[in-house]
Structure 1
């Protein structure tokens, strides 16, 4: 590229950590002159910017990791919330059990009196209602019972405290394990409420069993203060769930903002890398321009001195009157003027270079400012990390409490529904008990009578059931096989009948053809001569023989009635064997029929040959008669002579006809034998079919009789089984009813024991309600703190976004400055090339001034013209070469290349290589 265009492009590749910043396309198609930089401070600053970008990328990765950890912690807190709900349901179950215990205690007290009231009882009005109901009862008895209930409640409270302490220990262990594994893997929620659930399940089963023996009059209403308490808990749980959803939405928004910030940071990194590449290229080009300017200044001074010396020597040697001297002086003056112009241009370009260097320094200062801002951002992120930890701890505690409350509430509602259902079932069982028992007794007596009848029937029957079953199975198998055998035999018989019909039709056709041939032969004999006597064919004899053979009946199959009588006396197995033998014989007869058909097909072909020969004979006879007439007319011979010749010919034909007759007689004999065989096979098949039908009828009759017997036996056996099953079911029903009565008696005893247990839970529930209120207040405070922390995090994210936007704007400004510097460097390069060319021309002109003549000047002008044409564009030959195609290196003017780009003919006119708008660059000579 540099040798073709006379221009050199310079750029520097900077390799940091093995990454090339210059693209491969440019390194392929551009000649790179590695030039030293102006100063090493710029390189150091660029390297520092890269390091800072890497640090920023690492911080972004840290932020992503923190986000992932927060998500995991949120999931963990949600699992704890579920556990808190479970605990809440347990508390509600305890409350419900206590309420039911109070109701049962009041019922127990009310059973001793004659009347009781159906009012809603609370913990405050319990004593007053008891005193109103029992004015005669002493107060000491009531106090003793209350003390006993209080002691039982205290014992139950101690047990519940022990269970809660175990649960707290397990929760502490799980929390320690989750904290150790918080930043490595996802955590599964610990099963903190397993022991409490098992304990509650045991008490539930006991409570359900106790409720079976309740009376119809039960109090299903809860105490008033407990209902209020549960309603407050539900409202608080709803508020907490709403706040959790709001927090989750805010966290999702913050995550989206952080992702957007990461994307923006990546874009800034890419832009900074591009800026660094452009800065390096501009620095290298500025260094090249300075070096070229220095070289041009040195050449200029040397050329000026040489021109002055040459001018002085030429004036001394040659007079000023010569034309060559005048021309030399004019050339020198022109060169001096051009040099002065170029000096002015060079000074302007130097000023522009100074301005560019100042702009570059300003861009470096802005980059340092951005670097400082990014360092400050890192400090802010570090300050935020402990706040996130505090939020995690608070959120865990809140979720635990909420899960416990929800679980307690659910258990309370489930237990209430169960108790309502069980009270209804117990009342229905008591009402239905007496009629069921009467029905069982009646059915038991009926079963005894039926058992005696069945035993009498079994004694009368002497046949073994197993033997009958075996017989039935064998008969079923045979009956299943017989339809297949009969269907196969019937299909074969139908095929044989069809083939017999076809043979008869074909034989009738053959007889018709033979009669026709006989008639034609008789006509030929009459026409040929009266002397020739031909005996007629013995077709009538053949027909008579065939009729006799058809009337004959073979003597082997006439004894069918005797065979049927023999078969009836035999067993079914022997009958099946004989049927198989008869089927084999029928198969053989069918095979013989097939062979006869094959023979008939061959003989029908011979008959076709005979008909063809008869037709030929007719044609020859007619031809001979016509020929005789023609020859008699032509020769003029008597007709008798020709008739003699014709007689000779006819004798020959008669000999041939006799041979054909013999063949026909032989064929008719063969046909008679075929008729005999077909008749015998048909009779045999008819007799076999009749025998098969009789056998099938006998078998079907026997099978029907056996099936009727078996159906009767099966019906009796099924009736026996159904009666036995009913007997067993009734006995089981009696046992189950007795068991239920025993269980109900046991449940009554257990209910009395559990009254004390229910009373003991009241004090525990009140205390736990106070604890729950305290926890709810703590949760509210924690939520307020979480909201404040979220606001702080959103403000920090906004700060990051604003700083990133400002840094992006600064980078765009720097990119514009660098692009302006590139354009200026290209201008400087073009001016330096022009100066060099003009200095070379001036130097050459000064050297050749001494030996210039008119001829030399003409030659010089022609050379200059040729050189100008080389510099001109090859397409238009008007404008100078000022554009280069980077892919192929060919030069053209800007007008031609613009026309090609507008017309979308993006191929080099010289080598037809495809180029784009980016592959076109300016060149200055």
Structure 2
């Protein structure tokens, strides 16, 4: 009882509110006011359908809210995707610019200082870039390649440090030589031609030194940037590997869920097969019952014909006939009471069906309102939506980025023109010469280019992995889209089974009505049989002959008499024998009819106990009559001599007997008129029963029509659910279109990469021309100092490149995370739909397995609720809740009662009469 006391009182109010979310764990018991009088299984099913409709309405509201939230999230993800694409395009352009500058600088260094890294630099031109190869590679390969690239960058930095040390040594040698040459020039006088040549050479060296300083400053910053970029790429690759594992786990979970759904679908199919088997069994039983009813109807028709052919019936007023008539009256009263109960149940069912139809109409109206709102959405409203505005902003950002790229390209072209002008100043002799430092720089630049190409390859492979995952997700989406069709087929089968069960129940009710009608007719037959009584025969020897000739005689040849035994003695023997034969034939035929009517109901024990008792009594009466006939035959045989002696007296009395016979004939005619009147009354009663049967048939047809309307409305609701599923499919198509747009953007990116490759080829030409400038630098002493500055700038550029690579990794990871989040949200949306469908199935199963709550339990719950309310309410007013406490005595009251006491200056507690002040009153929250 403790568990049952915790029932929620306002369960209907919770289900009625469409805005409030439906709780997962609901109370198992309904409110007492909602429980009608449930007298049959159909009433229980109708009541459960009402409750399920309320719950489904709440769940539909929840689904709509979830759909709105998912649409908002999808719009946000689209905006983030567009931003990420713009950032990727910018970062790719920036990386290619850094690549080109590194190639230029490394070639210049390789010309000046040869090193063993020449092979790695030469391999840059042959291999593809890392950013291009990344989508074609797997995650593990990308991680390995990034580690190798990082190790190579560290080796290159070490080589650059070694080159710096070599350059320092050579600078010291050059300084010592310059000092010796200066000392020698001070002793020797200057010449005009030599002075002019030295001045021209010094002017050229100063010009070249200025250019080299600029280039070295830019080159020194790039290696540091590259290191940072490499570190960021490593971190991003780790994050990508973690995300890949998470995605694989989610895919495994989704596959497990699909398997579970398939298993449940199989279970539903098994249940439908079981229902079909049950339906076949019920159909076979109904066929048997119909066959029995047909037999009973045929026997009724034969009995009715025989009753019409009989001209009259005889009645006797003895004891056993009175008992049979009383029992027949009681059976008639029972049948009338049963008919009244069935009529009341039919009215209740009609009322409940009308309420269900009204609720379904309301649900259809709400669904149509929502559809009309969706269809009436204007284009202007869509343009004013935040998603459309975000897309416009993102498009403007793309345009700005494209303009910036054009300006950067123009700056690069101007720099190329400047380099060409500088190259034109050099001579052909100086072009042929190469410095070892420039060669080392070229080699280092080639190594860096190879590493960048590997990074590009890894990025491409990452994109391929993303596409593979998308393909898997699409396949899963296809399976999930097929699941609702399978579930709809199973639901349709279940609905058909339920509909057929209801039709079977209606047929059983019709069968019961026909059985009641047959009972009434059998009771009337019993009355007619009880009214027919036999008079004893005059001779026992004639009994067997009469029994043999009964079948040959027709009912029209039989005459009945209403005289007593004393009057029959006055008649002749022949007349007495004929009359007794006729009466015995009538009684035997009535008994045969009763046996034929009783043979139909031999199989049913519980319903036909009264009929079996009546048959036994009729058999006893028949045996009693036969014994009486035999006794009378013996008496007639003893008194035969006395009748012969009195024959003479009889002749004298014939005239008197003729007069008596005339009076008897008149009495017989009166009796026949009364019998005809009784037959008329019985015919009127039969007509009334037939009219009642017609009215019952009309009511049953109305019930059938109402149930068919209900089924049509249920089909309409199922069609509406299918339309909602079509809207969900449209949303999935919208997501697919967005994915196609992303693919188009990827194609645009590939075109941009091709353009950048073309720019790289042009820049290689510029690099070749830069080699000529390096030949000029090899002939001058000040080149070593400038090379040191170039090395410093190159380290800085490497660091900057590393930072840029790290930023690109972060952007890539963010983009991938957003895509994965979108996919996970879509999967969650589908999972929620599947869970709702499962809950619907569970609700149908629970509705079938739910048991009716008894009235006693409900009364106990009402008493418990009333007791709890009394505990919470104030003892004085019994209206408000307890929210004030008296600290001295600890008793609880409401604030209104305490304020009244304080105003009236009654400072005593009403329960214990303890004194208190206003300071002793405190608030309490219960």
TM class, shorter-chain normalised? Answer: under 0.3
Bigger shift: residues 765-774 or 333-342? 765-774
Q: How far is the alpha carbon of 1:59 from its aligned partner? A: 2.2
Alignment check: 8 A CA contact 1:171 1:192 kept: no
* Structure 1: runs of 5 or more not aligned: none
Q: Deviations over 1:647-706 (max 9, x none)?
A: 999999999999999999999999999999999999999999999999999999999999
Q: 1-side partners of 2:284 and 2:717: how far apart?
A: 116
In structure 2, do the counterparts of structure 1 residues 485 and 744 end up closer, same or farther at CA, with 3 Å as the change threshold? closer
Q: 1:780 to 1:262 in 2, by over 3 A?
A: farther
Moved more, 702-711 or 27-36: 702-711
Q: Is the contact made by 2:877 and 2:897 (CA closer than 8 Å) also made in structure 1?
A: yes
Q: With the length of structure 1 as denominator, give the TM-score of the two structures.
A: 0.16
Shift of 1:80: 0.9
Of 398-407 and 650-659, the range deviating more from structure 2? 650-659
Q: 1:703 to 1:247 in 2, by over 3 A?
A: closer
**Aligned ranges 1:158-237 → 2 under 5 Å:** 219=219, 222-224=222-224, 226-233=226-233, 235-236=235-236
Q: Deviations over 1:417-466 (max 9, x none)?
A: 99999999999999999999999999999999999999999999999999
Deviation at 1:43, TM superposition (A): 1.7
Secondary structure, counterpart of 1:128 in structure 2: coil
Matched position secondary structure for 2:186: coil
Assess, with a 3 A threshold, how the Cα gap between structure 1 residues 36 and 620 changes in structure 2: closer, same or farther: closer
CA 1:10–1:451 in structure 2 vs 1: closer, same or farther (change >3 Å)? closer
Which stretch of structure 1 is more off in the superposition, 306-315 or 723-732?
Answer: 723-732
Q: Counterparts of 2:466 and 2:305 in 1: how far apart (Å)?
A: 146
Provide the rounded CA distance (Å) in 2 between the counterparts of 1:327 and 1:607.
14
Q: Distance in 2 between matches of 1:679 and 1:274?
A: 54
Post-superposition Cα deviations, 1:208-265, rounded to whole Å, max 9, x if no partner, equal: 9999999799838723365234531464266258627845973896699499879969
Report the aligned-residue RMSD.
Answer: 49.8
Question: How far is the alpha carbon of 1:571 from its aligned partner?
Answer: 164
Is the Cα–Cα contact under 8 Å of residues 216 and 786 in structure 2 kept in the other structure? Answer: no
Given the superposition, is the C-alpha separation of residues 701 and 659 from structure 1 closer, same or farther in structure 2, using an over 3 Å criterion? Answer: same
User: Is the 8 Å Cα contact of residues 884 and 922 (structure 1) preserved in structure 2?
Assistant: yes
* Aligned 8 A contact 1:84 1:401 in 2: no
**Contact 1:100-1:758 at 8 Å conserved across structures:** no
CA deviation profile, 1:728-772 (whole Å, cap 9, x unmatched): 999999999999999999999999999999999999999999999
Please give the per-residue CA displacement for 1:28-87, whole angstroms capped at 9, x wherever unaligned.
999999999982797256423443156247626844873685377357426514524644
SS at match of 2:311: helix
Assess if the C-alpha contact under 8 Å between 1:37 and 1:283 holds in 2.
Answer: no
With over 3 angstroms needed to count, the CA separation of the structure-2 counterparts of 1:335 and 1:610, relative to structure 1, is: closer
* Greater shift in the superposed pair: 758-767 or 411-420: 758-767
CA distance 1:736–1:722, shift in 2 (3 Å)? same
CA contact (8 A) 1:876 1:896 kept: yes
Which residue of 2 is the match for residue 738 of structure 1?
Answer: 739
Aligned CA distance change for structure 1 residues 575 and 714 (closer, same or farther; 3 Å): farther
The 8 Å contact of residues 103 and 449 in structure 2, kept in 1 or not, is answered as no
Q: Answer yes or no: is 1:36 the counterpart of 2:57.
A: no
**Structure 2 SS opposite 1:731:** helix
User: What do residues 456-515 of structure 1 show as CA deviations (whole Å, max 9, x unaligned)?
Assistant: 999999999999999999999999999999999999999999999999999999999999
Q: After alignment, is 575-584 or 325-334 more displaced?
A: 575-584
**Which moved further from structure 2: 840-849 or 686-695?**
686-695
Aligned residues of 1:211 and 1:423 also touching (Cα < 8 A): no
Single out whichever of 826-835 and 354-363 deviates more from structure 2. 826-835
- Figure out how many residues of one structure are paired with residues of the other and give that number: 925
Q: Write out the 4+ residue segments of structure 1 that deviate beyond 6 Å after TM superposition.
A: 1-38, 91-218, 258-925
**CA distance change for structure 1 residues 764 and 708 in 2, over 3 Å: closer, same or farther?**
farther
Asked if the contact 1:122/1:223 (under 8 Å) is kept, the reply is no
2:888, 2:920 within 8 Å by CA — same for their partners in 1?
Answer: yes
Q: 2:412 is matched with which residue?
A: 412
Partner of 1:268: 268
C-alpha offsets along residues 837-872 of structure 1, whole Å, 9 cap, x if unaligned?
A: 999999999999999999999999999999999999
Higher mean alpha-carbon deviation, 198-207 vs 226-235, is at 198-207
Say whether the 8 Å CA contact 2:143–2:237 is kept in structure 1: no
Query: Do the aligned residues in 1 keep the contact of 2:292 with 2:600 (CA within 8 Å)?
Result: no
CA distance 1:227–1:54, change in 2 (3 Å): same
Does structure 2 retain, via aligned residues, the 8 Å contact 1:356–1:821? no
Q: How far apart are the structure 1 equivalents of 2:711 and 2:330?
A: 147
Query: Which SS does the other structure have where 2:885 is aligned?
Result: strand
SS at match of 1:351: helix
- Deviation digits for residues 792-824 of structure 1, max 9, x if unmatched? 999999999999999999999999999999999
Question: Contact conserved, 2:881 with 2:894, CA < 8 A, in 1?
Answer: yes
**Shift in Å at residue 344 of structure 1?**
32
Distance 1:659 1:588, change over 3 A: closer
The change in CA–CA distance for 1:707 and 1:655 in structure 2 (over 3 A counts) is same
Q: Give the whole-Å Cα distance in 1 for the aligned partners of 2:323 and 2:583.
A: 147
Deviation string, structure 1 residues 360-406 (Cα, Å, up to 9, x no partner)? 99999999999999999999999999999999999999999999999
Q: Judging changes above 3 Å, is the alpha-carbon distance between structure 1 residues 896 and 46 closer, same or farther for their aligned structure 2 residues?
A: farther
Contact map agreement 1:885 1:915 (CA 8 A) in 2: yes
Of 44-53 and 719-728, the range deviating more from structure 2:
719-728
On the 8 A contact 1:908/1:914 being kept in 2, the answer is yes
Aligned to 2:23: 23
Distance 2:548 2:869 in 1: 129
Larger Rg: 1
Q: TM-score scaled to structure 2, two decimals?
A: 0.16
The answer as to 2:704 corresponding to 1:686 is no
Looking at structure 1, the residues matched to 549 and 330 of structure 2 have their Cα atoms a distance apart, in angstroms, of 153
847-856 or 312-321: bigger deviation = 847-856
Does the CA contact (< 8 Å) of 2:889 and 2:914 recur in 1?
Answer: yes
Task: Flag the 1:396–1:211 CA change in 2: closer, same or farther, 3 A.
Answer: same
Would the aligned equivalents of 2:111 and 2:435 in 1 still touch at CA under 8 Å?
A: no
Greater mean deviation of Cα atoms: 607-616 or 715-724 = 607-616
Q: 1:373 to 1:343 in 2, by over 3 A?
A: same
SS of the residue 1:881 aligns to: coil
Q: 1:873 touches 1:892 (CA, 8 Å); kept in 2?
A: yes
Question: Is the alpha carbon distance of 1:867 and 1:876 closer, same or farther for their aligned partners in structure 2, counting shifts above 3 Å?
Answer: same
Aligned CA distance change for structure 1 residues 499 and 698 (closer, same or farther; 3 Å): closer
Q: Distance in 1 between matches of 2:540 and 2:316?
A: 158
Greater Cα shift, 670-679 or 719-728:
670-679
